[in-house]
Chains A and B, each alone.
Chain A
Amino acid sequence: MNKINPWFVAICIWSLAPLLWQLYTSFSTSEALTMPLSEVEKRWTFDNYIQILNAEPPFWRYLINSTILSLSTTIITLILSIPAAYSITKLPTFIANNFKRVLLSAALFPYVLLFLALLEVARKLNIGNNLLALSIPYSALSIPLAVLLISSAFNDLPDGLDEAARLEGLNLFQRFRYILVPLIRPAVASTSILVFIFSWNEYPIALTWLSKENVLTLPVAIARIAGSSVYSVPYGAYAAATVLGSIPLLIVVMIFQKQIVSGLTKGAIKG
Chain B
Amino acid sequence: MNLILLLPASCLIIIIFGFPLIRYTWLSFHASTVVTGLEPIANNGVNWIRLISDQRFWQDTFQTVRFAALSVTLEIILALIIALILDQRWRGRGLVRSITLLPWALPTTIMALGWRWIFNSPYGPIEQFMQYLNLNPLNILSNPKVAWLATVFGDVWKTTPFVAIIILAGLQTISNDLFEAFKLEGGKPKEALIEITLPLLMPYILLAIIFRLAQAFGVFDLIQIMTGGGAS
Contacts and interface: CB of A to CB of B under 8 A. Distances in A.
A204 B220 contact: yes
Contacts of B105: 197, 201, 249, 252-253, 260
A112 B103 CA distance: 21
Interface in A164-223: 172, 197, 200-201, 203-204, 218-220, 222-223
Contact of A264 (B16, B114, B166): B166
A1 B207 contact: no
A144 interface: yes
Given A233-B113, A238-B113, A117 B24 contact: yes
A147 to B, nearest CB: 6
B114 A242 contact: yes
Interface string A105-130: 01011111110111011000000000
Interface stretch (A15-23, A42-50, A53-61): A15-23
Interface stretch (B33-41, B51-59, B84-92): B84-92
Interface string A79-97: 0110110111011000000
Contacts, number: 214
Nearest to B173: A269
A253 B86 CA distance: 17
Interface string A1-35: 11011011001101110110110010000000110
B5 interface: yes
A90 B12 contact: no
Given A25-B117, A36-B128, A114-B17, A11 B100 contact: yes
Contacts of A74: none
Contacts of B13: 103, 106, 140, 143-144
Query: Which bucket holds chain B's interface residue count?
Result: 35 or more
A141 interface: yes
Q: Which of B15, B91, B115, B117 has the most CB of A within 10 A?
A: B117
Contact of B91 (A1, A18, A268): A1
A69 interface: no
Contact of B114 (A15, A21, A87, A219): A21
Nearest to B15: A140
B96 interface: yes
A109 B17 contact: yes
B162 A264 contact: yes
B174 to A, nearest CB: 14
Interface stretch (B42-50, B175-183, B190-198, B208-216): B208-216
B51 to A, nearest CB: 15
B20 A87 contact: no
A264 B96 contact: no
Main secondary structure of the interface of B (DSSP, over half): helix
B9 to A, nearest CB: 4
B113 A242 contact: yes
B186 interface: no
A147 B9 CA distance: 9
B99 A242 contact: no
Contacts of A5: 85, 88, 90
Given A111-B218, A226-B225, A261 B165 contact: yes
Given A11-B100, A204-B220, A80 B12 contact: yes
A140 B14 CA distance: 9
B97 interface: yes
B85 A11 contact: yes
B82 A265 contact: no
Contacts of B128: 36-37
Nearest to B214: A108
Interface of B: 1-6, 8-10, 12-13, 15-17, 19-21, 23-24, 82, 85-86, 88, 90-94, 96-103, 105-111, 113-118, 120, 123, 125, 128, 131-132, 157, 161-162, 165-166, 168-169, 204, 207-208, 210-211, 214-215, 217-221, 225
Nearest 3 CB-CB pairings of A with B: A110-B218, A117-B20, A140-B16
11 contacts: A22-B114, A37-B128, A91-B2, A108-B210, A136-B12, A201-B107, A223-B113, A223-B225, A252-B105, A257-B98, A268-B169
